[in-house]
Amino acid sequence: MKIVIIGSGNVAYHLTKAFTQNNIEVHQIFGRNEIELKKISEEFNIPFSTEKLEDADLYLISVSDSSVEQVSELIKKEDALVAHTSGSLPMEILKGNYRKASFYPLQTFSKTKNLDYSKIPFFIEAENQIDEKSLFELASLISDNVETSDYEKRKYIHLTAVFACNFVNHLFARAKEISDSQDLDFNYFIPLIDETVEKIHHLEPKTAQTGPAVRGDERVLKLHEVLITNEEHRKIYNTMNESIQKMYQ
């Protein structure tokens, strides 16, 4: 299968790396950002272009959700299989007379962070069973955790991921703002963060909850509210505590 990856961001980079590590040849990486494309090209010895899209059997579109439709119109090969890697878009966003699919890796990607690709869940959807089987087999060369999933299921997978990853990381960033404001080393909190995540490997998240809100400790809640001078931090603190208290009423 002749594969072209379209994009130069985090997902495109890691797909290229995962394929390379598993001896899956990528014939071209294509996109607009020449600087980032060149970095990927040099690291993995893969041709790149910002102008000419090579002929391929499979095009994987790994760009921002807002750009998927526009980018998909660049592909003119009618007998190609085209898949986007978005968790929140249907296959129908792809505009062209080719076979459409979705190839969604459920993970947070940063170029500077190494990943064990074998543990990443991949969710596959295609218009026909032959393409579904082909993409399933491709993903299985990378990951030990591959499933088929229609858009109805996939969009809720993505929503859950936003709560479980994006929101949690934002709280880490806000916590660091507080620690920085008091000249506290954020590394103090890394073992606490690690234990919080480790616990949900063994306990239901609801069972693992600790802290003043779940205990109903009004003295500590009021003390914290006095300490918070940043309005945004105060809103987050009150909203989270209210949500915790409602869950355990």
Q: In this predicted model, what pLDDT tens digit does every residue of 221-238 receive, in sequence order?
A: 999 999 999 999 999 999
Sole residue written with tokens 């947070």: 108
For 163-210, how does the pLDDT look when each residue is reduced to its tens digit (9 = 90+)? Answer: 999 999 999 999 999 999 999 999 999 999 999 999 999 999 999 999
* pLDDT single digits (tens) 11-47: 999 999 999 999 999 999 999 999 999 999 999 999 9
Query: What is the pLDDT confidence band of residue 156, given thresholds at 50, 70 and 90?
Result: very high
What mean pLDDT, rounded, does the chain reach? Answer: 97
Q: What is the pTM of this model?
A: 0.92
